Amino acid sequence: MAFPTNLYGAVLLMAFLVSAGSLPLWRRWCRRRGWVDDPGHRKIHHVPVPLAGGFAVFTGMAAVLGAAVLAIVFQWMPAEPLAKLSYGLGRRSVELTTLLLGAVGMLALGGWDDRRELSPRAKFAGQCLIALAVSLSGIRITLFVPSLVFSHAVTVLWILTVTNAFNINDNMNGLCAGLGAIASGWIAFHAGREGQYLVASMALLVLGSLLGFLPYNYPKASVFLGDAGSHLVGYLISVLAVLPHFYSPKQLEPSRWAVLCPLLILAVPLADLVSVVWIRTRLGRPFWIGDTNHFSHRLTRAGLGRSEAVLVLWLAALGIGALSLLF
Q: pLDDT digit of tens for each residue in the chain (327 aa)?
A: 455 678 889 899 999 999 999 999 999 999 999 899 887 655 666 688 999 999 999 999 999 988 877 877 777 666 666 676 676 666 777 888 888 999 999 999 999 999 888 999 999 999 999 999 999 988 888 877 888 999 999 999 999 999 999 999 999 999 999 999 999 999 999 998 888 888 898 999 999 999 999 999 999 999 999 999 999 999 999 999 998 654 444 544 445 666 788 999 999 999 999 999 999 999 989 888 888 999 999 999 999 999 999 999 999 999 999 998 887
Q: How many helices (H) and strands (E) does the chain have?
A: 13, 2
Amino acid (one-letter) located at 25: L
Kindly state the helix (H) or strand (E) to which residue 36 belongs, with its residue range. strand 36-37
Distance CA 248, CA 144 (A): 11
- Exposure string of 41-50, with b = 16+ CB inside 10 Å and e = fewer, is eeeeeeeebb
Does 1 fall in a domain? no
In a domain, 50, yes or no: yes
Report pTM. Answer: 0.91
Range of the domain at 169: 6-326
| H-helix segments, 137-266 | 148-168, 175-193, 197-213, 226-242, 261-265
In one-letter notation, the amino acid at residue 141 is I
Q: Distance between the two ends of the chain, CA-based, in angstroms?
A: 26
204 within some domain: yes
Residue 80 lies in a domain: yes
Task: State the DSSP code for 222.
Answer: S
How far is it, in rounded angstroms, from Cα 56 to Cα 106? 14
Residues 77, 71 contacting (CB under 8 angstroms): yes
Containing H/E element for 37? strand 36-37
Task: Provide the domain count of the chain.
Answer: 1
